[in-house]
Amino acid sequence: MSLPTATIRRLLNVPQVAPIWVGGGRSLDSKNDEVFCAAWLDPKDQGVRSMEVGQFPPTPEQLMRLLVQAIEYPRHPQAQPCRPHTIIVDDRELQFFLRGVVAPLDIQVEYQAHIPLLDEFFEFIAAEVTSDDEDIEVLPPEYVSVYKQKIGEFGQLDIWRRLDSLTPLKLHCDAWDSPTLFAVLVNPQSEDGAFGLMLYRGEEALRNFWQQIDQEYPYIDEDDDERLEETVLRNDCLFLNFAQVDEEDLGRNPSFVLKGQLYSIEPGVIHPLEGMRPFYAPEEAEMVYVAIEALIKFWKKTKKQFDHEECPELDLRFKIPSPRHSALHYQVQVATMPEMIAEINGDLEEGESQHQIPIDTAAIPRDAYILFKLFPPQELQELQAAVSYHQRGEIPEAFEGYPVLTIQTKKAAAEALATKIAEEGGIHHLTVFPLSGPEQIVMLLAQTNANHLWLLDTFDPESGPLLLDWIKEVNELEGACGLAVAYGMTGKTRMQPTLKQIVGLFETSLVHSFVDTQRPPTPQPIEISKR
């Protein structure tokens, strides 16, 4: 993965004067729960260039985003934007990751096992440093007036209510740093009437966006800000949001009036290695303006064709003048993508292949409880030693609770089910599939290593929070989880099986919305011990 060309160009314009910076991440002690901090420090000035505190261990991508911030917008009030000659980290994996990413910036990456300055800094840090971006110009000054006029025209189009996020438009211009953009329209369906435009840099970026909508967003708790933010930051796009505001709340953002209502213009860029940036560089502002003008011309010329066909096959070319340079013109191609839309809707053979395995709805006894359990390390070891059937999987070295989905049924049925799973070669993975329709039903499935798909249970909005809470625990362990089979449905052990009553433990993983139909059957060894 590499930084966008526009970002590299922008960072290379920052003077390279700082000799060495150090950076990394640590876990901080907290009375309530575990807190993590990541930072870049300047040893010469004894200053904090950038810092972030959160509830999850910092990733290499997060450290890269903080490095970009450290270069352009240092936290220390006396620090000036600059680029280091060398950065030193205390993590080998981070060193290897950063080497390739920062090579175009002429920055050397070195490793040092112990960095005293970092150790001292993380020992004393106790509060989150907040960001102050109030002085950032969201648009280059020379583009503010032309954006107001053009976006006002753009906002008047009925394109916003006619096309949605599954009807992208492809824009291509050889003069752009990212020659191919995919425009996704965000319709004004929220209560506040906000709407906007997202321009994904390439087909892969667009497909990643669709994959997140299908596989991740349905399972992220709206209150889980950290996970939601990390998911959003995996996008690769430029965005332009328009939000209704009162004049006193407008701040520094430019605005336009639409149907008597004041809207703020909120531009920005998202990239996995740069993070979210609330402003455009001049070349980005130029590119987005040209893209908007091309979309306006395209819609005015073709909107009648959308009256007769949901997504007609169209491919038009426009000559768009630069808003700032009278002698400069751009040749922009705007096209619809009906084949890609058909693929997303499951009309292509590849899209349908995931659903070609029939779902066995009778594999799990009807008279059964589905329980979501967490086993601390010691209890997990005791469980592994106690069961008659054990499928070993990859379990993290350090964890507080191992998530186990437990099927509790009658004794004879439990023993028969554990035996059947062993005969199937164990569990390949668990998965969750949302069903279309107003009922908002989610299926919880298991794919065995014999490539059979079993329905474990279904969840509606009322029972769904139990599944969501368990999925959050599984996500903490990067998908690692287990499936257990137990008996003891009556008396004190109802919904609370003892270790003795758990017949089998099958260590596996959870993969969202995924069925592997191309994989040949791959039975795994099951340890069997008769108790």
The 3-state secondary structure of 81-101 reads CCCEEEEEECCHHHHHHHHHH
Cβ-Cβ contacts under 8 Å for 253 (sequence gap 6 or more): 138, 264, 265, 266
Q: Using the CB atoms, write b or e for 403-422: b if 16+ within 10 Å.
A: bbbbbbbeeebbbebbbebb
Residues 269 and 324 in one domain: yes
Which of 290, 496, 332, 478 is CA-nearest to residue 402?
Answer: 478
What's the whole-number mean pLDDT along residues 264-268? 90
Inform me whether the pLDDT recorded for 329 exceeds 90: yes
337 domain residue, yes or no: yes
308 to 5, 100, 311, 312, 321: CA distances (angstroms): 40, 50, 9, 8, 31
Least confident of 147-161, 210-224, 396-410: 210-224
136 domain residue, yes or no: no
Residues 421 and 383 in one domain: yes
Inform me whether the pLDDT recorded for 66 exceeds 60: yes
Tell me the pLDDT band of 382, cut-offs 50, 70 and 90: very high
326 domain residue, yes or no: yes
Distance CA 524, CA 393 (A): 10
Residues 280 and 324 in one domain: yes
With contact defined as beta carbons under 8 Å apart, do 206 and 184 qualify?
Answer: yes
Of 292, 318, 347, the residue that ends a domain is 347
Q: Using the CB atoms, write b or e for 49-65: b if 16+ within 10 Å.
A: bbbbbbeeebbbbbbbb
Which of 364, 362, 419, 429 is CA-nearest to residue 394?
Answer: 429
Inform me whether the pLDDT recorded for 385 exceeds 90: yes
Which has more pLDDT, 515 or 496? 496
Number of structural domains found in the chain:
3
Which tokens in the block code for residue 404? Answer: 């186990």
Of 327, 347, 367, the residue that ends a domain is 347
Inform me whether the pLDDT recorded for 348 exceeds 70: no
Q: What is the pTM of this model?
A: 0.54
165 domain residue, yes or no: yes
The whole-chain average pLDDT of the chain stands at 84
Residues linked to residue 169 through DSSP beta bridges, in sequence order: 183, 336
Residues 373 and 518 in one domain: yes
What distance lies between CA 149 and its chain's CA centroid? 34
- Its sign, for the CA torsion 276, 279, 282, 283, is positive
pLDDT number for residue 67: 94
Exposed / middle / buried, residue 198 (Cβ in 10 Å: 0-12, 13-18, 19+)? buried
Residues 66 and 148 in one domain: no
**Most confident range, picked from 135-139, 261-265, 444-448:** 444-448
DSSP structural state of residue 436? S
Residues 212 and 166 in one domain: yes
Distance CA 445, CA 458 (A): 9
Residues linked to residue 434 through DSSP beta bridges, in sequence order: 442
Which tokens in the block code for residue 187? Answer: 């319709």
Residues 374 and 436 in one domain: yes
The tens digit of pLDDT for each residue in 137-165 reads: 788 889 998 998 899 899 888 898 788 76
130 domain residue, yes or no: no
Expressed as residue numbers, the domain containing 342 is 143-347
Identity of the amino acid at 28: L
Phi, psi of 114 (to 5 degrees): -130, 125
Of 124, 154, 180, the residue that ends a domain is 124
138 domain residue, yes or no: no
Distance CA 317, CA 505 (A): 60
131 domain residue, yes or no: no
With contact defined as beta carbons under 8 Å apart, do 7 and 16 qualify?
Answer: no
Residues 335 and 361 in one domain: no
133 domain residue, yes or no: no
Residues 234 and 111 in one domain: no
Residues 169 and 241 in one domain: yes
The tens digit of pLDDT for each residue in 6-52 reads: 889 889 999 998 789 999 998 876 544 567 889 999 988 778 899 88
Inform me whether the pLDDT recorded for 189 exceeds 60: no
Phi, psi of 359 (to 5 degrees): -90, 125
Cβ-Cβ contacts under 8 Å for 79 (sequence gap 6 or more): 42, 45, 47, 49
Which tokens in the block code for residue 117? Answer: 């300055």
Residues 21 and 86 in one domain: yes
Q: Using alpha carbons only, what angle is made at residue 364 by residues 363 and 367, rounded to the nearest 5 degrees? A: 135
Residues 316 and 429 in one domain: no
What's the whole-number mean pLDDT along residues 57-82? 87
